[in-house]
A = this chain, B = another copy of it.
Amino acid sequence: MTTTIKDLGEIELLNRLKRFMRYGQIDDDIAEINISNKSLLINTDLLVEKIHFSEEISNAKDIGWKCITTNISDLICSGSKNILSFNVGLVLPPNTPWKWVENLYEGMWEAMQEFGGEIIGGDCSCGELKMISITAIGEMNPPRLHRGNALPGDYIVSTGIHGLSRLGLALLTSEKLPGEVQISPQLITRAINSHKRPYPAIEALNALIECKPKSTSWRAAGTDSSDGLVESIRGICHSSNCQAVLSKNSLLKDPDWPEGSTWDDWVLYGGEDYELILSLPKKWAEALSKKLKTAKIIGFMKEGKPNIFWDNLEEINFEQSNIFKHF
């Protein structure tokens, strides 16, 4: 029988492609090249119509904003604040209105005004579905955050709340809300905004850099929570070969967030949040949670086979994790 990539799943697919790539490149989303003692971080993100965006719930400007900011988030969660450039590859059906393309670029432009960088090149082609491929380049300065940099004894820090983008998606697609609860208009606004206009954690990265205690090195593990909170921690555990213990009472939620197990699941597995998830030496973690109001220590790393537990020793369920749904 022929093995398809659906049979393999994304993780095994990437695993099998390792031998074609530079050693150690697969653990992080981001690539790096060194030139004249400077390091550049390079990130490619694909957005495919019907998979990553749909015109029913997002207009072209929002899609433009999102495809630049998701890329910037990957650079930021690797430690780069200095965004240099974007190459944009665009596949469009021939009947695409010019206005749609113009709005897409205006959304990209707005994001670049906010976070830096400029479009320096790209390619375009016709195709049956819209597809946007963006390669962003940023300059690297310490701290160079890797998924594989965590050590047992680190504290795990989330720089903000999770679940809003998942709720926003539910609201935009008129999905029934869990428990059919009523939610506040403020929460509705915050959720829709989080989904349509994600805002990369540049302030959190600045705070992380500013608050580093002199007594600790720049060693820090990090990623963004674009694939969901649990998935981002799972990635750090796997790449760093250690275990995470999360405190059930420390999870950050919106002040108006309803109670209930599905609501909790949206916080844990929702995805498309763009907070930094960090594994830091204790002192640095404490300094960050003091300096950055939105940040909180949510657990710690310990030795052991890569896995995540609650502090009551319950194992965390990965079935809902986004990573298993890409194919």
State the A residues within 8 Å of B (CB).
2-8, 10, 13-14, 16-17, 20-22, 25, 29-33, 35-38, 40, 42-46, 48, 50-52, 84-85, 87-92, 94-99, 101-102, 105-106, 108-109, 118-129, 131, 133, 135, 137, 139, 326-327
Contacts and interface: CB of A to CB of B under 8 A. Distances in A.
Contacts of A32: 120
Contacts of A30: 121
Nearest to A41: B121
A20 B121 contact: no
Contacts of A123: 29, 44-46, 133
B44 A135 contact: yes
A3 B25 CA distance: 43
Contacts of A133: 44, 46, 89, 123, 133
A21 B4 CA distance: 40
B87 A4 contact: no
Contact of A42 (B43, B102, B137): B137
Contacts of A118: 21-22
A41 to B, nearest CB: 9
A232 to B, nearest CB: 16
The complex is assembled from copies of this chain, and their number is 2
A111 to B, nearest CB: 12
Nearest to A129: B128
A131 B108 CA distance: 22
A204 B8 CA distance: 43
A248 B230 CA distance: 67
A5 to B, nearest CB: 5
Given A101-B13, A129-B127, A131-B131, A94 B5 contact: yes
Contact of A97 (B3, B29, B126): B3
A5 B101 contact: yes
A326 B8 CA distance: 35
Nearest to A30: B121
A138 B91 CA distance: 24
B43 A98 contact: no
Nearest to A49: B127
A73 to B, nearest CB: 13
A87 B35 contact: no
Contacts of A17: 101, 105
Contacts of A92: 5, 327
